[in-house]
């Protein structure tokens, strides 16, 4: 110990001479550069792209006010591929250069890692045994240059950075005046034991943002989360950025065969709807009918939401008298339908040690966990406990934006870090959907429950849990279809009544054919809050979805990504000429055309509308 302290003291005295100049790491394509330097005892960094500064000199610290000194550094190259259990890609390339800087912070040796990718950077601290029990304040400044517009949080709200702005939600997306887009978030919070989600504050006097989080060090190997900066030409490009996933820890589960992405129905939004035979409610009859529909239509899941039990406390649940949960679970098993079963923590504490085993014993495939709060420690434990019982988990009602965790613990299949359909009607508009699709979706898979087909019924107030204000739900049925393609999730949750889907069986075919995991994903058009076009491939079939705001619009969908010398058949699902998100939301048309690589298909969309395509090869003989 004495020898170690002498060595640290010597390093501290000589560090200024050793590394007075900035240390720079460049991305594999040399376009993104991040430099670190110690200035007046503070560690600072800056980021540039193509030689142009993006983030001005900004401060990073691990201990509040600690005097920092650089000791040595090294850079290594890394290039590998890995396969996620589910997601937007079947294979992800992890290609970066990693800078390791050895530092002294108030006499404690720490390491800073910075990984530079072609589309962003990430940096984190690694703590030694000498740091045990020391309070950490992990803080990173972002002095954004040329920021013109800012969007943040679970609804992608527009943020005005001014003296009145105190706190900014995560993630934050900045659109620069030259069109470049930046996103600020963190990754691998799951591995950073003791840390909660970072909080971003705006300091008007310094004209800078600062993200911070605190924890007490556990000593050797303690990790902070990665602070992540994504860089893209467009907002849509950020949504298929893999930097946060590459920074997350590799999968911890030896066996992932029980984790099955899929699609399913959800009962919550159809209570009160009369299907001609009975009224849907929280009861056994409704659940069995919905399970039948899932089995008949090839939907893998059914989500039983709140109020199936009355109370939960001390290892006991009082099930609602209208629900025979054992019969429901047995029937689902007989029909081959997997059940996601809701747990509402507000109804009492069942006991976290036995909660997940109880759900597994009931026969649930997974849990939809509500009201557990934005608590990272609690979330880590819940994900682990679910995995131990081979349960999927879908966090709702204000969850943690824990980016990258689906790589490490892929039993986390979705979460409501957004506003679901018909929730918070003041916020949920076509524009808000488009903001969430390009802002909150950066944190990972979202459960937004898109796919309402009975929009007239919803607006007429024929559901117990529809909009409080009638005729306030703005969308078209084609937009509803496209939204399910745009939003990536391991569990696609359809919110409408079976009868509404059967009324539009040809349109429903898109959702039936669409998988929940993909081989490749592209964003062809995008503008935050205005429009987006996403293309996703499964095997040799492409699915394309476009979503519009409340202006009529035609987007050119260029098919340059198709294989050359192959003829394709495209089934188009599109707004009709008289479609309108308010006046005529359920009008649509379906047609088939033949296309090839390089063609452009016009996606003509109504107010609040959308456009969708399924593209399949019909021969390999060429044109």
For 270-320, the pLDDT digits (tens) are 999 999 999 999 999 999 999 999 999 999 999 999 999 999 999 999 999
Judged by DSSP in three states, 249 sits in coil
Q: Give the separation between CA 535 and CA 491, rounded to whole angstroms.
A: 18
What value does the mean pLDDT of the chain take?
Answer: 94
Q: How many residues does the chain have?
A: 623
- pLDDT attached to residue 147: 87
Please enumerate in sequence order all residues whose Cβ is within 8 A of that of 17, keeping only pairs 6 or more positions apart, or say none: none
Is the pLDDT assigned to residue 622 strictly greater than 60?
Answer: no
Q: In 497-543, where does DSSP find H-type helix?
A: 498-503, 505-513
- In this prediction, residues 69-77 reach a mean pLDDT of 97
How many contiguous H segments (helices) and E segments (strands) does the chain have?
Answer: 13, 34
Q: Give the separation between CA 100 and CA 112, rounded to whole angstroms.
A: 6
Please enumerate in sequence order all residues whose Cβ is within 8 A of that of 97, keeping only pairs 6 or more positions apart, or say none: 25, 26, 27, 28, 75, 76, 77, 78, 115, 116
- In this prediction, residues 212-240 reach a mean pLDDT of 97
By the 10 Å C-beta count (0-12 exposed, 13-18 middle, 19+ buried), 578 is classed as: exposed
pLDDT digits (tens, 9 = 90+) for 126-143: 999 999 999 999 999 999
Q: What is the DSSP string of 326-376?
A: HHHHHHHHHHT-EEEEEEEGGG----HHHHHHHHHHHT-SEEEEES--S-H
Q: Give the separation between CA 533 and CA 613, rounded to whole angstroms.
A: 11
- In this prediction, residues 222-228 reach a mean pLDDT of 98
Quick one: tokens of 327? 């019969």
- Spans of all domains in the chain: 2-247, 262-516
Q: Give the separation between CA 209 and CA 186, rounded to whole angstroms.
A: 14
CB 553 within 8 A of CB 605: yes
Pairing of strands 392-396, 366-370: parallel
Neighbours of 563 (CB within 10 A): 11
CB 229 within 8 A of CB 184: yes
Q: Give the separation between CA 589 and CA 579, rounded to whole angstroms.
A: 10
Q: Give the separation between CA 518 and CA 535, rounded to whole angstroms.
A: 10
Judged by DSSP in three states, 399 sits in coil
Among 484, 493, 521, CA closest to 612: 484
Residue 545's pLDDT band (boundaries 50, 70, 90)?
A: very high
pLDDT digits (tens, 9 = 90+) for 12-58: 444 444 456 899 999 999 999 999 999 999 999 999 999 999 999 99
- pLDDT attached to residue 427: 53
For residue 225, the 8-state DSSP code is P
pTM of the model: 0.95
CB 394 within 8 A of CB 414: yes
Is the pLDDT assigned to residue 210 strictly greater than 90?
Answer: yes
Is the pLDDT assigned to residue 1 strictly greater than 50?
Answer: no
pLDDT digits (tens, 9 = 90+) for 477-492: 999 999 999 999 999 9
Among 223, 239, 362, 232, CA closest to 304: 362
Residue 67's pLDDT band (boundaries 50, 70, 90)?
A: very high
Please enumerate in sequence order all residues whose Cβ is within 8 A of that of 205, keeping only pairs 6 or more positions apart, or say none: none
- In this prediction, residues 218-228 reach a mean pLDDT of 96
| Residue % of the chain over a pLDDT of 90 | 88
Terminal-to-terminal C-alpha distance of the chain? 76
Among 462, 529, 468, CA closest to 496: 462
Pairing of strands 301-304, 262-266: parallel
CB 85 within 8 A of CB 262: no
The structural architecture, per CATH, of the domain 262-516 is Alpha-Beta Barrel (3.20)
Quick one: tokens of 534? 């996403």
pLDDT digits (tens, 9 = 90+) for 153-185: 999 999 999 888 889 999 999 999 999 999 999
pLDDT digits (tens, 9 = 90+) for 410-447: 999 999 999 876 665 555 799 999 999 999 999 999 99
Instruction: Please give the helix or strand (H or E) that residue 172 lies within, else none.
Output: strand 172-176
Q: In 215-312, where does DSSP find H-type helix?
A: 235-239, 243-247, 284-297
- pLDDT attached to residue 13: 45
* 2-247 fold: Beta-galactosidase; Chain A, domain 5 (2.70.98)
Please enumerate in sequence order all residues whose Cβ is within 8 A of that of 251, keeping only pairs 6 or more positions apart, or say none: 85, 407, 408, 409, 410
Q: Tell me the helix, strand and coil percentages in the chain, rounded to 5.
A: 20, 40, 40
pLDDT digits (tens, 9 = 90+) for 568-621: 999 999 999 999 999 999 999 999 999 999 999 999 999 999 999 999 999 754
Instruction: Please give the helix or strand (H or E) that residue 93 lies within, else none.
Output: strand 92-105
């Amino acid at each position: 110990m004495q020898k170690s302290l002498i060595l640290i003291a010597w390093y501290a005295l000589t560090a200024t001479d050793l590394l007075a100049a900035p240390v720079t790491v460049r991305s594999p394509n040399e376009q993104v550069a991040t430099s670190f330097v110690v200035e007046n005892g503070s560690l600072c960094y800056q980021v540039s792209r193509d030689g142009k500064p993006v983030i001005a000199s900004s401060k990073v610290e691990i201990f509040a006010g600690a005097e920092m000194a650089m000791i040595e550094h090294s850079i290594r190259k890394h290039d590998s591929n890995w396969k996620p259990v589910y997601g937007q890609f079947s294979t992800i390339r992890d290609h970066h250069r990693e800078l390791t800087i050895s530092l002294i912070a108030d006499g404690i040796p720490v390491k800073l890692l910075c990984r530079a990718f072609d589309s962003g950077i990430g940096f984190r601290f690694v703590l030694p045994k000498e740091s045990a029990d020391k309070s950490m304040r992990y803080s990173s400044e972002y002095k954004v240059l040329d920021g013109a517009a800012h969007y943040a949080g679970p609804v992608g709200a527009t943020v005005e950075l001014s003296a009145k702005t105190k706190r900014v939600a995560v993630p934050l997306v900045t659109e620069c005046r030259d069109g470049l887009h930046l996103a600020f978030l963190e990754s691998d919070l799951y591995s950073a034991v003791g840390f909660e989600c970072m909080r971003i504050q705006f300091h008007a006097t310094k004209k800078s943002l600062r993200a911070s989080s605190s924890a007490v060090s556990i000593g050797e190997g303690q990790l902070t989360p990665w602070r992540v900066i994504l860089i893209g030409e467009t907002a849509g490009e950020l949504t298929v950025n893999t930097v946060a996933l590459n920074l997350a820890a590799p999968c911890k589960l030896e066996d992932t065969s029980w984790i099955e992405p899929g699609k399913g129905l959800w009962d919550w939004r159809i209570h009160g709807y009369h299907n001609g035979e009975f009224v849907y409610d929280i009861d056994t009859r409704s659940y069995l009918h919905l399970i039948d529909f899932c089995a008949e239509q090839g939907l893998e899941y059914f989500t039983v939401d709140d109020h199936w039990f009355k109370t939960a406390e001390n290892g006991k649940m009082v099930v609602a008298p209208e629900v025979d949960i054992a019969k429901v679970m047995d029937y689902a098993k007989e029909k081959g339908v997997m059940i996601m079963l809701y747990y509402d923590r507000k109804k009492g504490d069942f006991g976290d040690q036995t909660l997940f085993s109880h759900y597994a014993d009931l026969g649930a495939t997974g849990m939809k966990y509500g009201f557990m709060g934005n608590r990272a420690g609690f979330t880590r434990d819940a994900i682990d406990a679910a995995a131990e019982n081979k349960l999927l988990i879908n966090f709702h009602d204000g969850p943690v934006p824990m980016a990258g965790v689906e790589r490490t613990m892929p039993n986390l299949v979705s979460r409501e870090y957004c506003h679901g359909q018909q929730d918070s009607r003041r916020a949920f508009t076509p524009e808000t959907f488009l903001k969430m699709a390009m802002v909150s979706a950066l944190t990972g898979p979202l459960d937004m429950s898109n796919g309402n087909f009975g929009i007239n019924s919803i607006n007429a107030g024929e559901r117990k849990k529809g909009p409080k204000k009638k005729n306030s739900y703005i969308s078209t049925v084609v937009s509803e279809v496209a939204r399910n393609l745009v939003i990536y999730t391991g569990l696609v949750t359809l919110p409408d009544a079976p009868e509404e889907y059967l009324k539009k069986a040809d349109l429903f075919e898109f959702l039936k054919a669409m998988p929940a995991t993909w081989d490749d994903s592209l964003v062809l058009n995008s503008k935050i809050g205005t429009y987006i076009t996403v293309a996703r491939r499964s095997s040799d079939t492409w699915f394309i979805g476009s979503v519009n705001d409340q202006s009529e619009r035609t987007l050119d969908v260029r098919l340059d990504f198709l294989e050359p010398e192959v003829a394709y058949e495209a089934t188009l699902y599109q707004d009709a000429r008289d479609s309108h998100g308010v006046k005529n939301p359920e009008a649509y048309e379906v047609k088939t055309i033949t296309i090839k690589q390089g063609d452009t298909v016009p996606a003509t969309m109504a107010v609040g509308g959308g456009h969708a395509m399924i593209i399949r090869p019909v021969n390999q003989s060429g044109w």
